[in-house]
Chain A
């Protein structure tokens, strides 16, 4: 009975919390004119409302440049409000790093500003956006209220982008998805890596090409060796002053790929692959067990096909 009471109390408390639908976004300054919102290293839940992603903004001379817009309309709106608390300047540009929902579903809050992404990202949002949004309604519930897909309106390409008086280096990579845009702010030395880099959180792989991803990580690590480099902003997990999160992401992906290939070559059935224990260094990462399970589903069929050739 006591337990039941505790449970009810929890339910009520949880309900009240959710009723406010406040992500509690607080901008953290990581360099001159560069701020980030660091999300939790969790799965999507009704408790976190999808605040599991890192977003950020740069206060440029001619306006702010927003990098990713979060997981819902509410996130985008609250993010914009938090940005207004830091700088009165208008938003000059929103960039979506890739087509996963936690990075673009806040776009509605920036409907009056240019929103840009790589061509394949625009295409991906057009093709898969509604399915992603529906999925997030299922996973986080009413936090998603009013959220609709608002696709980017402009196309970006690799190279230097001068926007609002700031010089950004756009690096078009792929591997986490078909198009992963990395933004290097040369003025501050901040590298926005998007979901090519996870820090102390197991990487997600629903659209991954591991070979390409590993090649992209090599390119990213090269940037961290440039003299101007100051700070790395991963798509998920804490910001870092060095390439450690890149190396951790690489280690996870290499282990994952090796495990799946070895399992397929040894003749294991998918359930036997799922039952394999994770090495301690990876098992300790948040959401490691569930991401491993998902990754087996995403990537084992290809490894299997290779082994059966």
Chain B
């Protein structure tokens, strides 16, 4: 009861702020994370933020495998998205990936390693410099970032490093969809004796050389990453290219 009173008092106080105090009121985190204030400062540099339902983050409420937590970010309902940053409040490495939907819709699916239960958030920046933040809570048993990759014990990935398999769907309900898998250990550097070794950049370009999307990936993206995106209005083959932090590059064509 006392708690309820405190909350009420707090809400009243917030409502009574002078209108001139800030153009954007201090956003109250719908996920109520103790780390939100830090996230705002550390990840978004204190820039203006709004919590926005148009930025959808899909992930299972309970993730059975902390090494492969599926996350789908859909900010297509928000017009004019320039950049999307995905992060997890309680991960030892906060930033998961960043993508720039240049001429593709602001939609990206992938999988991440989570060290413990955490909000997983996407912040979509619009031209006015405001970050529109959406997110969801994921419960997990944890250990995703400090456990060795599943194939750490085998040498298979060394022979198949940066091997890419991709496909486009040109008809049916998933028309315009592109999916791609890259063989890479995505080592976080948090496992003793295993240095950080991860993909840093992936570019999707159409046949005319026009870039559809640029993706900057960080250590928490899962081993052998799988990406799901939508190609938008372009047709024909797609080129996917990228490199890891050791300079190993790939460049493949995905037929329509």
Whether the pair B167, A308 counts as a contact (CB closer than 8 A) is yes
Q: How far is the CA of A303 from the CA of B228 in the complex (A)?
A: 15
A contacts with B: majority SS: helix
Is B149 an interface position by the 8 A CB rule? no
User: Is B166's CB under 8 angstroms from A266's CB?
Assistant: no
Chain B interface size, under 10 / 10 to 19 / 20 to 34 / 35 or more = 20 to 34
Question: Quick check: A269 and B64 within 8 Å, CB to CB?
Answer: no
Query: What is the CB-to-nearest-CB distance from A194 to chain B, in angstroms, rounded to a whole number?
Result: 22
CA distance A309 to B179 in the complex (A): 11
Question: Do the beta carbons of B70 and A135 come within 8 Å of each other?
Answer: no
User: Chain A 291-309 against B: per-residue CB contact (8 Å), 1 yes, 0 no?
Assistant: 0011001100100110111
Q: Is there contact, CB below 8 Å, between A293 and B58?
A: no
Number of residues in A with C-beta < 8 Å to the partner?
A: 21
Q: Check A308 against B181 for contact (C-beta < 8 Å).
A: yes
Q: Tell me the minimal C-beta distance from B164 to chain A in angstroms.
A: 9
Q: Nearest chain A CB to B206's CB is how many angstroms away?
A: 19
Give chain B residues whose Cβ lies under 8 Å from the Cβ of A268: 174
Task: Known contacts A270-B111, A293-B60, A293-B62; decide if A305 and B181 are in contact (CB<8 Å).
Answer: yes
B172 within 8 A of A: yes
| B72 at interface by CB-CB < 8 Å | yes
**Chain B residues whose C-beta falls within 8 Å of the C-beta of A269 in the assembled complex:** 70, 72, 109, 179, 228
Instruction: Establish whether residues A297 and B64, one from each chain, have CB atoms under 8 Å apart when the complex forms.
Output: yes
Which residues of A228-281 are within 8 A (CB) of B?
A: 266-272, 274
Find chain B residues with CB under 8 A from A270 CB. 70, 109, 111, 226
**A274/B70 in contact, CB under 8 A:** yes
Asked if A138 CB lies within 8 Å of chain B CBs, one says: yes
A267 touches B64 (CB 8 A): no
| Binary contact readout A102-138 vs B (1 if CB under 8 angstroms, 0 otherwise) | 0000000000000000000000000000000001001
Complex CA gap A272/B177 in Å reads 13
Q: List 18 interface pairs A-B (beta carbons < 8 Å), by A numbering.
A: A266-B169, A266-B174, A267-B228, A269-B109, A270-B226, A271-B58, A271-B59, A271-B60, A271-B70, A297-B64, A297-B65, A297-B68, A301-B68, A304-B181, A305-B181, A308-B166, A308-B167, A309-B165
New A-B pairs, 11, CB < 8 Å, besides A267-B179, A308-B166, A308-B179:
A266-B169, A267-B172, A269-B72, A270-B226, A271-B109, A272-B72, A290-B62, A293-B62, A297-B64, A298-B65, A309-B165
